[in-house]
Amino acid sequence: MTSMPPTGHTSTPAAPTVDPTWAELYEEIADCPRCILARTRTQSVPGVGPSTADIMFIGEAPGAREDERGIPFVGASGQFLDELLASIGLSRDTVYIANVVKCRPPGNRDPEPTEIEACAPYLDRQIAQVNPKIIVTLGRFSMARWFPGQSISRIHGEPKREGGRVIVPMFHPAAALHRGDLRSVIHADFARLPAFIAEAGIGASE
Ligand code: URA
C-alpha cells in the first residue's frame, strides 16, 4: 500500500493533506506482520488527522470500505461520525481518528484479544504523539482500555479524567445503524462534548 493514508474531511474524502510526522509509524503499520489479520487485509488503516489534534476518536477496527481505502471511518458508520462531528461544529480536519486494530477482521468479526494486544503498541504511539486533551472511545473495544469491565449502555457519555485528559466513552456509530433508537442517544452524548472541549481549554475554532 501507499506509505501514508491521506487526511480527508468527509466520509468520501477529497484532496488529501498529509501530516509528515506520521510517516515512520504509518510505514511500520503498513508492513505489520504481528497478527493473522495481516494475511487477509487489502491494506492496513493506521489513522487519519493531524498529530497536533486536541481530540482523538478511537474506534474498533476497519471494515470493508476502510480496508479498500486505507482511511478509517469512510463507510456507513463514518458518514454518521461525520454527521455527529458536524453537529457540534467539528470536522475531520481538526481531530485525529484511529482504531484499536489497524487491519480488517474478516467478515467484520470482532477483533480477538490477541489481535488487540498485538496492535496496542501502535495505538500507544498514536496517543503519545497526538497527546490529545480529549479521547472519545467509540464502542466497547476502545472503551475497555480505559473502562475495563464496564458496560457501554451504563457509562456512555460519562467522562473520566485521567492524567490531565478527559476520556469520554461513546457508543460506536455503527450501533445506530442497527438500532435506530440509539441515534438520538449518540447525538445527545456528542452534544456533551463542547462542554468538555471548553473545560480542556481547547480553542473555539476546534
Ligand atoms: N468501524 C470502526 O470501528 N472503524 C472504522 O474505521 C470503520 C468502522
72 ligand 1 Cβ < 6 A: yes
Q: In this structure, is residue 15 part of a structural domain?
A: no
State how many domains the chain has.
1
11 ligand 1 Cβ < 6 A: no
Q: Percentage of residues in the chain with pLDDT exceeding 90?
A: 88
Strand partners, 55: 134
Distance of CA 84 to the CA centre of its chain: 13
Per-residue pLDDT tens over the stretch 15-36: 456 578 999 999 999 999 999 9
- Taking each continuous run of H as one helix and of E as one strand, the counts in the chain are 10, 6
Specify the pLDDT at position 15: 41
Q: In this structure, is residue 206 part of a structural domain?
A: no
Q: In 3D, which of 141, 61, 53 has the Cα closest to residue 95?
A: 53
Q: Is the pLDDT of residue 127 over 70?
A: yes
Instruction: Kindly indicate the confidence band of residue 180, based on its pLDDT and cuts at 50, 70 and 90.
Output: very high
Q: Percentage of residues in the chain with pLDDT exceeding 70?
A: 90
Q: In this structure, is residue 130 part of a structural domain?
A: yes
67 Cα–ligand 1 center, Å: 10
96 ligand 1 Cβ < 6 A: no
Range of 98's domain? 20-198
61 Cα–ligand 1 center, Å: 5
DSSP 120-142: HHHHHHHHHHH--SEEEEESHHH
Q: Is the pLDDT of residue 84 over 50?
A: yes
Specify the pLDDT at position 203: 79
Per-residue pLDDT tens over the stretch 40-63: 999 999 999 999 999 999 999 999
Q: Is the pLDDT of residue 103 over 80?
A: yes
Q: In this structure, is residue 7 part of a structural domain?
A: no
Q: Is the pLDDT of residue 114 over 90?
A: yes
Show the cell assigned to 129: 504523539
70 Cα–ligand 1 center, Å: 11
Q: CB-based contacts of 1: which residues, under 8 Å, 6+ apart? A: 30, 42, 43, 44, 70
Instruction: Choose which residue among 66, 104, 170 to substitute to test ligand 1 binding: the one with the highest number of ligand atoms within 8 A of its C-beta.
Output: 66
Q: In this structure, is residue 157 part of a structural domain?
A: yes
Contact 182, 174 (CB under 8 A): no
Instruction: Kindly indicate the confidence band of residue 7, based on its pLDDT and cuts at 50, 70 and 90.
Output: very low
Q: Is the pLDDT of residue 204 over 50?
A: no
Q: Give the CATH number, domain containing residue 106.
A: 3.40.470.10
Locate cell 489497524: which residue? 102
165 Cα–ligand 1 center, Å: 23
Q: In this structure, is residue 144 part of a structural domain?
A: yes
Taking the CA of residue 77 as reference, the ligand 1 atom at the shortest distance is 8
106 or 4: which carries more pLDDT confidence? 106
Q: Is the pLDDT of residue 171 over 50?
A: yes
Q: In this structure, is residue 204 part of a structural domain?
A: no
Average pLDDT, the chain: 91
Q: In this structure, is residue 2 part of a structural domain?
A: no
Residue 139 corresponds to which amino acid? G
62 ligand 1 Cβ < 6 A: yes
Specify the pLDDT at position 10: 43
